[in-house]
Amino acid sequence: MTRPRRHARRPPARKVSTTRPRRVVAARAHGKVNLDLRVLGSRPDGYHELRTVFQSIALHDMVTAQEKPGPFVLKCRTPGVPLDDRNLVWRAAAALWRALGRAGDPADTLVTIEKAIPMQAGLGGGSADAAAALQVLGRLWGGAALSLLREVAAGVGSDAPFFLSGGTALGLGRGEEVYPLVDLPRHWIVLVRPPFGVSTVEAYSWYDEDRAAGVREPRIDVQILPVPWPSRAAQMINDLEPPVIRRHPEIGTIKAALREAGASAAAMSGSGSVVFGLFRTRPAAARALRPLAKLGESVVLSHTLSRAEHETRARPILRRV
Ligand code: C5P
């Protein structure tokens, strides 16, 4: 005989959390290429006066900020990324904290960076991460006006303000004065990263060295993009390219190979070392990947983003976990 069960089985009681859900804010940090970069002169502050045309690209890192009690922490799994105040994200966080009138060092926050943009490449990865960090931290820390974020960004890195708006834009001054241009019609981009990087400081010092030594620059090779687009500012000339090619001739080889592979135009981006080629269609760009593969440590297919596309894709997203 079976004994009667004294208690009917009840489903286990659901745990009721008494803690408030943690807020997590994430944003894409899109890279850029420079469709033109002219050095207009030296400045008393040691920087160079520029006229450049920035162009957002789909390739992006991811920056996430979340509430975490204790001192400010920066995490990134990619080797070689500094996780202290050498990282522009760290500096952006500290500068925003101060600009919001908070005392001491940033706290109670964890920021995570997931890298896809190669480093020392001229694609603005560090500054893009810093700009995205400002957006997500502004949201997490109770809101910050875009004008304040722009001001803070300009103090963190010369091209950081551009990443707050994106698209196709003119950069003046150190590059921090940003004016929207009519967006370049969508192009597909092949980005070739040679097996070495170039630091920004290095590229500008090579430029100065060559000027001081009276080195004659090669004939300027204007490349006008064959698309209906009113801007004449983007002629695919980069004044930093000749001094960098003089030290790294591989960059010239990659540029020639991109043109050979059918690119409408090709140039080094920013201070290098990435060389990019512009293509009108995805299949045309995809066909160029294989012949370029042997010249680069990485060869990536991407495309340009308009300002509106950038705004939608880079918008911070809030979750509660
Ligand atoms: O502003 P950011 O920290 O990105 O600049 C890094 C370095 O690049 C500067 O310290 C400077 O050597 C060089 N630079 C320059 N002129 C600019 C932008 C950057 O000389 N307009």
Q: Minimal CA–CA distance to 245: which of 194, 279, 280? A: 194
User: Quick check: 12 pLDDT over 70?
Assistant: no
Distance CA 223, CA 203 (A): 22
| Substitution site in 43, 48, 89, 170 for ligand 1 pocket (most atoms within 8 Å of beta carbon) | 48
Output the six-digit token pair for 91: 């500096």
pLDDT of residue 171: 98
* C-beta of 50 in contact with ligand 1 (< 6 A): yes
Can you tell me the mean pLDDT for 34-38?
97
Centre of ligand 1 to C-alpha 67, Å, is 33
Supply the residues annotated as catalytic: 32, 159
| Substitution site in 47, 85, 87 for ligand 1 pocket (most atoms within 8 Å of beta carbon) | 47
Which ligand 1 atom minimizes the distance to the CA of 48? 16
| Tens digits of residue pLDDT in 104-133 | 999 999 999 999 999 999 999 999 999 999
Can you tell me the mean pLDDT for 197-209?
98
pLDDT of residue 21: 87
For helices 88-99 and 146-156, give the axis angle rounded to 10 degrees. 130
Query: How many other β-carbons are positioned within 10 Å of the β-carbon of residue 94?
Result: 16
User: Quick check: 321 pLDDT over 60?
Assistant: yes
Least confidently predicted of 16-20, 136-140, 174-178: 16-20
Minimum CA distance residue for ligand 1 atom 19: 47
pLDDT of residue 17: 57
* C-beta of 91 in contact with ligand 1 (< 6 A): no
Share of the chain above pLDDT 70, in %: 94
Q: Which residue type occupies 253?
A: T
User: Quick check: 7 pLDDT over 70?
Assistant: no
Query: How many other β-carbons are positioned within 10 Å of the β-carbon of residue 299?
Result: 18
Centre of ligand 1 to C-alpha 47, Å, is 6
Output 7 or 249, whichever has higher pLDDT. 249
pLDDT of residue 271: 98
pLDDT of residue 30: 98
* C-beta of 42 in contact with ligand 1 (< 6 A): no
Distance CA 277, CA 279 (A): 7
DSSP 206-253: HHHHHHHTTPPPPPP-----SSS----S----BTTHHHHHHH-THHHH
Residues facing residue 110 across a β-bridge: 66, 73
Centre of ligand 1 to C-alpha 295, Å, is 28
pLDDT of residue 2: 47
User: Quick check: 99 pLDDT over 70?
Assistant: yes
Query: Which helix or strand (DSSP H or E) is residue 177 part of?
Result: strand 177-180
pLDDT of residue 13: 58
Query: How many other β-carbons are positioned within 10 Å of the β-carbon of residue 212?
Result: 8
Output the six-digit token pair for 87: 């990282």
Mean pLDDT of the chain: 94
| Tens digits of residue pLDDT in 220-240 | 889 988 888 888 889 999 999
Centre of ligand 1 to C-alpha 86, Å, is 15
| Tens digits of residue pLDDT in 70-80 | 999 999 999 99
Q: Is 167 left (phi over 0), alpha (psi -120 to 50) or beta?
A: left
